[in-house]
């Protein structure tokens, strides 16, 4: 969280929004209503977006093993530096070590 804030991004954790026990559908809906991009490690959001066609304002799925903070930060910086200033609305991004995939809807 502090890492992304240090890069100038506004960050709101689910638990800070009172949604720590919310369903994935409720989290996606909340993020969409607020205009937030959802950052997650939960692959289930792909099913919500692609199979159920739920509306969203962007989802970033982190698929980084090992799950070290340094590796996550490195890949986020790599992705964000390539897409600085872009609107992630409707994007489903998968970030993996050394690469990322973007599917725009």
For 51-66, the pLDDT digits (tens) are 999 999 999 999 987 6
pLDDT band at 14 (very low <50, low <70, confident <90, very high): very high
On the question of pLDDT at 33 being above 80, the answer is yes
Q: CB of 57 within 8 A of CB of 33?
A: no
C-alpha dihedral over 64, 11, 70, 6, to 10 degrees? Answer: 150
What is the number of domains present in the chain? 1
Q: What is the pTM of this model?
A: 0.91
Mean pLDDT of 69-85: 89
Tokens at 95, concatenated: 């970030």
On the question of pLDDT at 1 being above 80, the answer is no
Q: How far apart are CA 16 and CA 31, in angstroms?
A: 13
pLDDT attached to residue 55: 95
Range of the domain at 95: 2-104
For 23-32, the pLDDT digits (tens) are 999 999 999 9
Upper half-sphere CA count for residue 44 (Cβ side, 13 Å): 7
């Amino acid at each position: 969280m502090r890492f992304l804030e240090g890069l100038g991004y506004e960050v709101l954790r689910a638990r800070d929004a009172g949604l720590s026990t919310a369903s994935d559908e409720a989290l996606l809906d909340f993020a969409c209503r607020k205009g937030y991009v959802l950052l997650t490690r939960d692959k289930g959001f792909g099913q919500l977006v692609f199979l159920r066609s739920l509306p969203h304002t962007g989802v970033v799925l982190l698929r980084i093993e090992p799950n070290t903070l340094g590796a996550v930060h490195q890949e986020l910086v790599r992705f964000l530096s390539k897409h600085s200033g872009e609107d992630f609305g409707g994007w489903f991004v998968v970030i993996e070590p050394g690469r990322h995939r973007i599917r725009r809807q």
